[in-house]
Structure 1
């Protein structure tokens, strides 16, 4: 996603605000998910929102029965 530079330059939200929105969106997804969660990955960094927020939140969610990952895991 970083390569897309979705929040660089121009009008609208800045990088910091976009990051905060993405964190909260991922957290809410993980908190409200149920059943099997499927994560499609492309070499996420250890400090990625997926690794720092979403996956730990899924692990704490008692409504999740399994987390399946696919793609280029590191």
Structure 2
């Protein structure tokens, strides 16, 4: 968010565009999944993928971000790799 020019404070979530918050959260989750996957922590990956699945039901989520989430679900699915 800082790279996008936003100040981080207690009002950041309510004063920032929702799409920016979702994008930042998704990027952080992608890094988290990558790290856990590299460490071989399959249980953590599965747990976070379940969380990610629930985010797909968020009514304010753009179709672009929904597609990125689906991509993460496919990429990090432990059954596929």
TM-score, with length taken from structure 2: 0.40
Query: Looking at both structures, which has the greater relative contact order when contacts are Cα pairs under 8 Å and sequence separation is at least 6?
Result: 1
- Please identify which structure carries the higher strand content: 1
- Please identify which structure carries the higher helix content: 2
